[in-house]
């Protein structure tokens, strides 16, 4: 009997051990479904696709992260469960992000000239399924479209008193966009910005700035503005680098492609846009000193001389009489001053630098009074000039290094009533540039420029001193900065130089912008929007078909001096699947 009991106990134990791994221990049931999407929207239709966007709900109503989306579309309104069940299920829905995030996708394979309705449901891991979302609709475009239509939409007269973002509206009035200006004195520097929009079809443009006397942007004889053109000239600016990218100042919305802000280039290089995209261009300009007074001039953008299709806005300015000059002060003998005097500037820059001195006295417009190339090995310079009449003057020192980069422009406003004027011990700030302005996070950013030979160059990024390097004997410097800790996006870089043995240092240079990208090869981001997708593919094909090698070199990704299948392969490896 005892043996039977033992055998029975062992049998029960074996049965328990066999069944234990198959037992599922169930926690409290999850019965809360995600909330229904309420802001589904459709936009950006083409002949065969429509973009949709919405705000992510959560795992439990609007909390947490859901598991999956089910997007469906139909040519009839999806306003009940029967219509939902018969609708076509889309493919390629994104994986849900945390509640409150922006979600989007492109629904492709659609028919042209057809209205489509879209709806979405969200499910969690159980799965609990949300209620039906609101319904969004959009109509695909026609397969027959017109040619690309370019429109000069907006403009803005600005002072040259800041970088591409910080510059203010023109004059004491700080004028707003689409506001013409008057009483502009000959010799005045200003900047003019345009917004351009493309509709109807994809296309490319080489923006060229032109002017004419009179109003109306569609008629008359127009003149391209150059550094030597009459009435208006391209003007070097201390506040930005020529051909730097523009941001959105005049237009809003997602369909923006960066243009350029320019000081010595006109026309700009070729820019490719997709239908319904817009861009902005800005030029630094000067009214020539001999420009007629009380005269109206208008400005417009063309495509390398070919008028745009539409000019919604046509900016103009009116010149006016300069201010009446003050009387000169009396001399010691009771007469009036007016004897020419001598002005001398000296200090430290960098070998091979070009120093331009501009004089703008009260009674006249600005003029160049001295140009000099620094020949001293230590970067020392001295420039002087005579025949400066005794009055109040504003002198500007514009310094470029031997590779054309502009350093900080220094200004001196002086009343000259002495025999001579000497300003010495000026220390010019270094120039700042990059081996590549776009860098992948984790790679080193290479900062380059010129300073006084063997001086210490202190580099500041986003307000924090990151590195100090020593300039070479020729004044050049190079610094490698690790970007692993940097956020994605723009970072402001500037520098100053310290000449220890003379116990002197410069001011900080103007800032330059470094872009830290998510991309492995940032230069394949042709549209500059931080990703490589169908926009860049369209721009790549446009450049690939171009016969102009100066414009085509933008897609020479391996920098071997030619555009061929190697560059095509590089681009294909970097394009994002959509």
Residue where a domain stops, chosen among 481, 501, 517: 517
Residue 4 DSSP SS3 = helix
**570 — phi, psi (to 5°)?**
-60, -45
Q: Can you give the pTM of this predicted structure? A: 0.42
Same domain membership, residue 472 and residue 396: no
CA dihedral 291, 293, 294, 298 (to 10 degrees): 0
Residue where a domain stops, chosen among 366, 385, 420: 420
pLDDT at 7: 53
Same domain membership, residue 49 and residue 197: no
Range of the structural domain that residue 251 is part of:
149-319
Residue where a domain stops, chosen among 90, 109, 139: 139
What end-to-end distance do the CA atoms of the chain give, in Å? 76
Helix or strand run (H / E) with residue 13: helix 2-19
pLDDT at 363: 40
Distance of CA 337 to the CA centre of its chain: 50
In angstroms, what CA-CA distances link 375 with 348, 451, 499? 11, 14, 19
Spell out a b/e string for 321-349, using b for 16 or more CB atoms within 10 Å of the CB, else e: ebeeeeebeeeeeeeebeeebebebebbb
What is the 8-class DSSP label of residue 239? S
CB of 341 closer than 8 Å to CB of 419: yes
Residue 25 in any domain: the answer is: no
Residue 328 in any domain: the answer is: no
Q: How many domains does the chain have?
A: 5
Same domain membership, residue 284 and residue 351: no
Q: From the CB of residue 75, how many other CB atoms can be counted at a distance below 10 Å? A: 13
Helix or strand run (H / E) with residue 82: helix 81-86
CB of 90 closer than 8 Å to CB of 50: no
pLDDT at 551: 64
Residue whose structure tokens are 């001011």: 507
Please give the sequence-ordered ranges of beta strands (E in DSSP) within 227-366, or none if there are none: 232-234, 244-245, 260-262, 271-273, 278-287, 296-303, 306-307, 310-311, 316-319, 341-348, 354-361
What is the rounded distance in angstroms from the CA atom of residue 386 to the CA atom of residue 371? 13
pLDDT at 80: 92
Residue 327 in any domain: the answer is: no
pLDDT at 316: 94
Same domain membership, residue 229 and residue 99: no
What is the rounded distance in angstroms from the CA atom of residue 138 to the CA atom of residue 115? 6
Residue 95 in any domain: the answer is: yes
Same domain membership, residue 507 and residue 526: no
What is the rounded distance in angstroms from the CA atom of residue 183 to the CA atom of residue 518? 48
Which of 189, 188, 167 minimizes the C-alpha distance to 177?
Answer: 167
Same domain membership, residue 213 and residue 315: yes
Residue 144 in any domain: the answer is: no
Same domain membership, residue 315 and residue 227: yes
Residues in the chain: 578
**251 — phi, psi (to 5°)?**
-120, 155
Same domain membership, residue 462 and residue 346: no
Distance of CA 14 to the CA centre of its chain: 73
In angstroms, what CA-CA distances link 252 with 229, 260, 276? 34, 17, 12
Residue 133 in any domain: the answer is: yes
Residue 4 in any domain: the answer is: no
What is the 8-class DSSP label of residue 378? T
pLDDT at 265: 92
Same domain membership, residue 162 and residue 114: no
**92 — phi, psi (to 5°)?**
85, 20
Residue 78 in any domain: the answer is: yes
Per-residue pLDDT of the chain (578 residues; tens, 9 = 90+): 555 555 556 555 555 555 555 544 444 577 888 999 999 999 988 888 999 999 999 998 988 999 999 999 999 999 899 999 999 999 989 999 999 999 999 999 898 889 999 999 999 888 889 999 999 999 988 655 567 899 999 999 999 998 999 899 998 778 889 999 988 888 899 999 999 999 988 899 999 999 999 888 988 899 999 988 889 999 999 899 889 999 988 987 788 999 999 999 999 999 999 999 999 999 999 998 888 888 899 999 999 999 999 999 999 998 875 454 454 555 444 444 455 567 777 888 888 888 877 766 544 445 555 666 776 788 888 877 665 565 666 777 778 888 878 887 777 766 655 556 677 788 889 999 998 888 888 889 999 999 999 899 999 999 888 899 999 999 999 999 999 888 888 889 999 999 888 888 888 888 888 888 877 777 777 766 667 788 778 778 877 877 777 667 788 878 788 888 888 888 887 775 44
Q: What share of the chain is helix, strand, coil (3-state, %, to 5)?
A: 10, 40, 50
Q: Which two tokens stand for residue 177?
A: 């966009």
pLDDT at 28: 57
Q: In CATH, what number is assigned to the domain containing residue 371?
A: 2.60.40.2550
pLDDT at 421: 65
Q: Which two tokens stand for residue 139?
A: 């109509």
Same domain membership, residue 92 and residue 160: no
Q: In CATH, what number is assigned to the domain containing residue 486?
A: 2.60.40.10
Helix or strand run (H / E) with residue 492: strand 489-499
Task: Provide CB contacts within 8 A for 371, sequence distance 6+.
Answer: 354, 355, 356, 357
Same domain membership, residue 527 and residue 513: no
> Per-residue DSSP letters for 520-576?
SSGGG-TT-SSS-SHHHHHHHHHHHH---HHHHGGG-TT-SSS-SHHHHHHHHHHSP
Same domain membership, residue 498 and residue 437: yes
């Amino acid at each position: 009997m005892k043996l039977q009991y033992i055998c029975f106990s062992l049998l029960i134990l074996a049965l328990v051990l066999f069944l234990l791994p198959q037992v599922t221990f169930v926690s409290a049931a999850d019965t809360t479904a995600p909330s229904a999407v309420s802001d589904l929207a459709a936009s950006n239709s083409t002949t065969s696709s429509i973009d949709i966007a919405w705000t992510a709900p959560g795992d439990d109503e609007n909390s947490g992260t859901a598991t999956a989306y089910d997007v469906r579309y139909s040519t009839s309104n999806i306003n009940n469960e029967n219509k939902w069940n018969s609708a076509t299920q889309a493919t390629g829905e994104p994986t849900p992000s945390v509640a409150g995030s922006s979600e989007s996708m492109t629904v492709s394979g659609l028919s042209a000239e057809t209205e489509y309705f879209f709806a979405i449901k969200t499910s969690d891991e159980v799965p609990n399924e949300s209620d039906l979302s609101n319904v969004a609709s959009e109509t695909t475009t026609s397969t027959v479209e017109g040619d690309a239509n370019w429109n000069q939409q907006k403009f803005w007269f600005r002072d040259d008193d800041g970088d591409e973002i910080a510059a203010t509206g023109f004059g004491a009035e700080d004028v707003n966009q689409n506001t013409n200006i008057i009483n502009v004195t000959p010799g005045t520097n200003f900047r003019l910005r345009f917004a351009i929009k493309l509709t109807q079809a994809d296309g490319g443009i080489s923006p060229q700035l032109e002017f004419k006397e009179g109003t109306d942007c569609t008629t008359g004889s127009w003149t391209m503005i150059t550094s030597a053109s009459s009435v208006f000239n391209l003007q070097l600016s201390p506040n930005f680098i020529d051909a730097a990218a523009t941001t959105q100042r005049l237009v809003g919305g997602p369909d923006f492609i960066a243009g350029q802000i320019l000081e010595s280039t006109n026309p700009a290089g070729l820019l490719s846009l997709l239908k319904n995209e817009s861009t902005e261009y800005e030029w630094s300009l000067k009214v020539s000193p001999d420009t007629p007074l009380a005269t109206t001039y208008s400005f417009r953008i063309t495509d390398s001389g070919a008028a745009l299709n539409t000019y919604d806005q046509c900016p103009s300015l009116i010149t006016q009489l300069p201010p009446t000059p003050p009387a000169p002060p009396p001399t010691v003998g009771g007469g009036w001053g007016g004897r020419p005097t001598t002005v001398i500037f000296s200090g430290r820059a960098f070998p091979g630098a070009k120093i331009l001195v501009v004089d703008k006295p009260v009674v006249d417009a600005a003029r160049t009074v001295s140009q000099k190339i620094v020949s001293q090995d230590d970067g020392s310079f001295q420039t002087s000039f005579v025949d400066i009449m005794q009055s109040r003057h504003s002198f500007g020192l514009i310094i470029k290094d031997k590779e054309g980069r502009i350093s900080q422009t220094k200004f001196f406003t002086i009343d000259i009533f002495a025999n001579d004027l000497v300003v010495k011990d000026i220390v010019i700030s270094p120039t700042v540039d990059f081996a590549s302005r776009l860098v992948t996070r984790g790679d080193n950013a290479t900062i380059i420029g010129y300073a006084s030979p063997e001086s210490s160059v202190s580099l500041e990024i986003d307000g924090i001193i990151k590195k100090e390097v020593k300039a070479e004997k020729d004044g050049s410097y190079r610094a490698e900065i690790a970007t692993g800790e940097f956020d994605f996006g723009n970072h402001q870089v500037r520098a100053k130089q310290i000449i220890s043995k003379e116990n002197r240092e410069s001011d900080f240079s103007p800032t330059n912008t470094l872009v830290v990208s998510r991309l492995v090869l940032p230069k394949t981001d042709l549209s500059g929007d931080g990703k490589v997708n169908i926009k860049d593919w369209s721009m790549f094909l446009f450049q690939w078909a171009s016969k102009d090698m100066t414009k085509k070199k933008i897609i020479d990704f391996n920098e071997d001096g030619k555009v061929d299948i190697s560059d095509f392969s590089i681009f294909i490896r970097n394009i994002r699947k959509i």
